[in-house]
Copies of this chain bind each other. A is one copy, B any other.
């Protein structure tokens, strides 16, 4: 088969066109007017948490830093912009030299967040910063949506491992990054092989009904799998009759069989039945993995069942009802004609803004539990309280300084969640776990 991968190569060469048309036309107009060089502060935040959630989870930061470094306009890209007439020649010449020279601060990846938490602050000349809006939001919105869902699922699983298995239910590249976001939210492994390769996340797999159906008998299928993959493998036992399959599985693999998987029916009842059967057969260490359209509520409902691991797909990669985090990227301050940084905000009724450079902290009570997200404007909050700074330096004068291993994000999430009041872990809809307060000036 001949190769034809133009579009695949296109998208990988640079991230610069993963953006909206208007970012470039605004750039052109601002450059022409001389306002493009004005120093500007953009802020990423959510107006609200989706679906009555108690907290959000920052994810995508590490990916954003990679994407930022790949954000440049090569000759082919400039030629495309020229021939398609998106912007004029002076703008193309300016883009040819594009290099982000500003500063970026952000909440650490994995950090819980609340309405109006300033998750990312980009300070740079307007012309440089405006171009990053779409790419920044795409990455943070997609990843934070999955991480938030993952966090609730792992909380509901109470320490039992959760395996990300949703690749087939989302865009093929979003699948890779969903596995990454799920890991930040506490998942222990993924089925996605590229996520293993790109991010070092442990990969796991069981078996599909197709494998059983391929063989003439269920015994043939189990024998083939155990002989090739060893007794530690996970056998899928619901293709025909579960009880017969469990007996067969132990007969074929012996009592040291790694695990069985249930993928349909009443998982609660079946888990109890299968556990009893396995124990009776002496397979007391054989684990039970359940899958089949699980979400955080289904996982919570299985808390009392003898289940050893949850495989979660659709609901996880689609953000469990909230496939996007709803983050926005807004100009909150810019240099005025006097050279001073001036807060700005739009006045529209249903989407008002709060202008000014923000300094957020998480205020904690005497027991170390978070009690408020406190945001000061134009200065750090001044208080005797136990305040934890939330902004980390990510980019300084165009140089990425905020890289960290993925495990650090998972650990930050674990700690950040442990610090929240217990109401945060409730699955029901409600108010954010802590209020967001603006410090009085």
Interface residues of A (CB under 8 A from B): 1-5, 7-12, 15, 17-26, 28-30, 32-33, 35, 38, 40, 42, 66-70, 77, 80-81, 84, 86, 88, 99-100, 126, 130, 133-135, 137-139, 141-142, 165, 167-177, 191-194, 196-199, 203-216, 220, 223-225, 227-229, 233, 238-241, 263-265, 314, 317-319, 323-324, 326, 329-331, 334, 336-337, 344-351, 353, 398-400
**Closest residue of chain B to A84, judged by CB?**
B196
- Is the Cβ of A168 less than 8 Å from the Cβ of B224? no
A15's nearest neighbour on chain B, judged by CB, is B172
User: What residues on B are CB-neighbors of A194 within 8 Å?
Assistant: 10-11, 17-19
Give Cα A137–Cα B208 distance, bound, in whole angstroms: 15
Knowing that A67-B172, A126-B214, A137-B168 touch, tell me 13 more A-B residue pairs with CB under 8 angstroms.
A11-B12, A11-B173, A18-B176, A22-B208, A28-B228, A40-B210, A84-B197, A130-B210, A171-B171, A174-B174, A209-B346, A238-B346, A240-B347
Q: Which residue of B lies closest to A322 (CB)?
A: B318
- In the assembled complex, the CB of A206 is this many whole angstroms from the nearest CB of chain B, namely 6
Known: A28-B229, A228-B28, A324-B170. A348 touches B239 (CB 8 A): yes
Copies in the assembly, this chain: 2
- Contacting pair A33 B224 (CB below 8 A): yes
A350-B265 CB under 8 A given contacts A194-B11, A225-B29, A229-B29:
yes
A387 to chain B, nearest CB (A): 30
What are 29 A-to-B residue pairs whose CB atoms are below 8 Å? Answer: A1-B69, A1-B400, A10-B194, A11-B173, A11-B198, A17-B196, A19-B193, A21-B196, A21-B203, A25-B233, A28-B228, A30-B211, A33-B220, A33-B228, A35-B214, A67-B172, A80-B197, A86-B203, A126-B210, A134-B168, A135-B172, A139-B171, A171-B177, A173-B174, A174-B174, A210-B330, A264-B348, A265-B348, A314-B324
From B19, B215, B346, A167 is in contact (CB under 8 Å) with: B19
A84 to chain B, nearest CB (A): 6
Q: Which residues of B contact A42 (CB under 8 A)?
A: 210
Once the chains are docked, how many angstroms separate the CA of A64 from the CA of B43?
37
A175 touching B69, Cβ below 8 Å: no
A317 to B12, CA, bound (A): 21
Report which of B28, B214, B240, B346 forms a contact with A331, defined as CB distance below 8 A. Answer: B214
* A22-B206, A334-B213 known; A1-B348 Cβ under 8 A: no
B398 touching A334 by the CB < 8 A rule? Answer: no
Tell whether, in the assembled complex, residue A224 and residue B67 are in contact, meaning their CB atoms are under 8 Å apart: no
Query: Which of B20, B133, B170, B233 makes the CB contact (< 8 A) with A165?
Result: B20
Docked Cα-Cα span, A220 to B134, in Å, equals 25
Given contacts A28-B229, A70-B8, A214-B40, contact A138 B33 (CB under 8 A): no
In this complex, the member of A19, A28, A314 whose beta carbon has the largest number of chain B beta carbons within 10 angstroms is: A19
In the complex, what residues of B have CB within 8 A of residue A30's CB? Answer: 211, 214, 224
CB distance from A134 to the nearest CB of B (A): 5
Minimum distance in angstroms from A194 CB to a CB of chain B: 4
Using CB atoms, name the residue of chain B closest to A137. B168
| Docked-complex contact B11 and A239, CB < 8 angstroms | no
By a CB distance below 8 angstroms, the chain B residues around A204 are: 21
A203 surroundings in chain B (CB, below 8 A): 21, 84, 86
Q: Which residue of B lies closest to A90 (CB)?
A: B228
The answer to whether B21 touches A205 (Cβ under 8 A) is yes
CA distance A77 to B194 in the complex (A): 10
Please tell me which one of the listed residues B228, B326, B351, B398 contacts residue A32 in the complex, with CB atoms under 8 A apart: B228
C-alpha gap A193/B10 in the complex (Å) = 12
B69 touches A2 (CB 8 A): yes
Residue of B nearest to A234 (CB): B22
| CA–CA, A224 and B34, complex, Å | 9
Min distance, Cβ A190 to any Cβ of chain B, angstroms = 8
Residue of B whose beta carbon sits closest to that of A203: B21
